[in-house]
Amino acid sequence: MFRSVVPRAAPRALLRPVSQSTFCAPNLYFQGRLRRGYASEAEEKDLVIIGGGVAGYVAAIKAGQAGLKVACIEKRGSLGGTCLNVGCIPSKSLLNNSHLYHTILHDTKARGIEVGDVTLNLGAMMKAKETSVSGLTKGIEFLFKKNNVEYIKGTGAFKDEHTVAVNLVEGGETEVRGKNIFIATGSEATPFPGLTIDEEKVITSTGAIALKEVPKKMIVIGGGIIGLEMGSVWSRLGAEVTVVEYLGQIGGPGMDNEIAKLTQKLLTKQGMKFKLNTKVMGGDVSTSSVAINVEAAKGGKEESLDADVVLVAIGRRPYTAGLGLENIGLETDERGRLIIDQEFRTKIPHIRSIGDVTFGPMLAHKAEEEAVAAIEYLIKGYGHVNYGAIPSVMYTHPEVAWVGQNEQELKAADVKYKTGSFPFSANSRAKTNLDTEGIVKFLADAKTDRILGIHIVGPNAGEMIAEGVLALEYGASSEDVARTSHAHPTLSEAFKEAAMATYDKAIHY
C-alpha cells in the first residue's frame, strides 16, 4: 500500500528540514540507472553502506532481500553499532539484572519469599551482559550471510562520489565502488568542556556499562534518559547517585512535565538525588576522587560536589570524523548533522544518510524505520516514516514511555486538548504484582477526540506504549481505545481506563 511520507499525526518538534525539490533527481531517472547497470558491474555494488549500526545493518539486510548487490563497511569489528555493542542492549541487560538484585534485596518479604544473604557478583553480571551482546551481534553477521550482504571490516572514507577507501581492521586497504552510498555512521557522546573522558573516573555511557566496581559516589551530569538509566543501575547496585541537571525537569524536553515530576519523585524514593536548575562549571580530577563545581543555572553561589566517578550524559552528537566528506563537498549543519531531504538524499543524489548521523531523535527504532524507508525510496521511489509516531522509552523502574505530543508542547502551540489519566494503584494486575506506582495519561483533541499524545510512567510502560503508537499511527480517538476490549487482569487495562477517562469516565477510579 502506498503511504504518504507526510505524518498523519501532528509532527513532533524534531522534523527534518525539507528541501527536497532543490536537489532531488527524479526517481524514475534514478530507478533507470539502477536497472541499466555499469560496465564495471563486477566491482561496483548497487549499494555501499558506511556504518554497521542499526541504520546501516537494517538497510543492508533490506537491500539484500531486494536482490541488490550490497556491501556494509563497519570499523568496530562487530556489527550492531552503538545500540548492540555499547548502548540499548548492554544498558538494558544491566538495568534488568540490577533491578532483579534490588528486588531480591528489598522487595521479597511482603511477597512471602525468604532469602538468605544476597551478594553482588559484578563480574558475572557484566558477563551476562557480554553474552547478550555477542549473541545479538553474531546474529547480525548470520543475517548478513543469509541475505548476501558483503561485510567489510574497516574504516570507510570517501575517495570520490562513488568510491569508498577502506582501512581494513585486519590490516591493509581496499576500495569499494557503489552506484549508491548510504552514510550511517551514527553518533558519539558529547564531551563536557574541561572534563577529559578517561572512561574510569570521568566516563560516558560506554564507561558506565563497564565499571569494574560499584563506586561509592557517582555524579551524573545530565538528567536525560541515558543519565537516568545508568544512574539507576549504579544506584541499585549501591552507589550514592546525584544527578545534576541544567533544566528544571528530568527526562529531556520530550517528557511530559507531570510525568517527569512523578518520575523524579519515584526515583528519589529509590535513593537517587537530584540537583535541577544547576549548571556544572568545571571539575578537578587531580586527586583520587573527582570534584565538580556547580552553581544555580541562573547564577549563584558555587558549590563543590565530590564523587568517585562522574558520568557525562549531556547528549550525543553525529559522528562523521574521518569520513572524507570534504573530498566530495558534503557539509554538515551547525550541530554536525548531515543535511538530507525527505528521501534521505544528501545534495549528491546517490548518497543518502540515515540514523543518528542526521536529523531526528537518536533512537534505534527511528534508525531502523529510516533504513527500511531509504531502501524503499531507492528501489521503488517511495517510502514512509511517521516522525509524529516514534515512541520514547526510559527503562528505569518504573519505566517511562511516551508517544506524540506532551502537555507543554500542546499549550505552547495553543492546541485545545482534553486529558484523562488512570493510576496503576487502581489497576488489579498492578495491585496483584505489588507494583502500583505510576499513571497512564492521554491527551486528545478537545473537539475531535483524536489522540495527540500518550504518556506513561509505570510497570511495563515500554511494552504498553506500542498500543499507543498504533493508535496514533492510525489516527485513533480516545473513544476508539476505550471501546477496545483489553484482557483482564492486565496492566493494559490501565491504558484502556485512561482512554475512558479522556472521552468519558474511568470505571475503576
Ligand X SMILES: Cc1cc2nc3c(=O)[nH]c(=O)nc-3n(C[C@H](O)[C@H](O)[C@H](O)COP(=O)(O)OP(=O)(O)OC[C@H]3O[C@@H](n4cnc5c(N)ncnc54)[C@H](O)[C@@H]3O)c2cc1C
Catalog residues that contact ligand X under the rule CB under 6 A: 50-56, 73-76, 81-83, 87-88, 91, 155-156, 184-187, 205, 226, 319, 322-323, 355-357, 362-365, 367
Annotated binding-site residue? 92? yes
Annotated binding-site residue? 404? no
Q: Toward ligand X, which CB reaches closer, 80 or 423?
A: 80
HSE, side-chain direction, 13 A CA sphere, residue 240: 6
Q: Toward ligand X, which CB reaches closer, 54 or 410?
A: 54
Q: Toward ligand X, which CB reaches closer, 60 or 498?
A: 60
With beta carbons less than 8 A apart as the criterion, state whether 22 and 336 touch. Answer: no
| Shortest distance, position 58 Cβ to ligand X, whole Å | 8
**DSSP run (H or E) holding 74:** strand 70-74
Annotated binding-site residue? 363? yes
Q: If we measure between CA atoms, which residue out of 10, 1, 149 comes closest to residue 67?
A: 149
With beta carbons less than 8 A apart as the criterion, state whether 351 and 161 touch. Answer: yes
Annotated binding-site residue? 187? yes
Annotated binding-site residue? 46? no
Alpha-carbon separation of residue 438 from 83, 386, 495 (angstroms):
28, 28, 12
| Shortest distance, position 361 Cβ to ligand X, whole Å | 8
What residues are labeled active site? 488
In sequence order, what DSSP letters do the residues of 306-361 get, joined into one string? EESEEEE-S-EEE--TTS-GGGTT--B-TTSPBP--TTSB-SSTTEEE-GGGSSS-
| Shortest distance, position 186 Cβ to ligand X, whole Å | 2
Q: In terms of residues, how long is the chain?
A: 509
Sign of the torsion angle spanned by Cα atoms 305, 310, 312, 313: negative
Alpha-carbon separation of residue 263 from 155, 225, 256, 423, 509 (angstroms):
41, 12, 10, 13, 21
Q: Toward ligand X, which CB reaches closer, 151 or 509?
A: 151
Residue 82 DSSP label = H
| Shortest distance, position 54 Cβ to ligand X, whole Å | 4
Q: Toward ligand X, which CB reaches closer, 181 or 500?
A: 181
| Shortest distance, position 93 Cβ to ligand X, whole Å | 11
Annotated binding-site residue? 351? no
Q: Which residues are annotated as a binding site for NAD(+)?
A: 222-229, 245, 315
Q: Which residues are annotated as a binding site for FAD?
A: 92, 156, 185-187, 356, 362-365
Q: Which residues are annotated as a binding site?
A: 92, 156, 185-187, 222-229, 245, 315, 356, 362-365
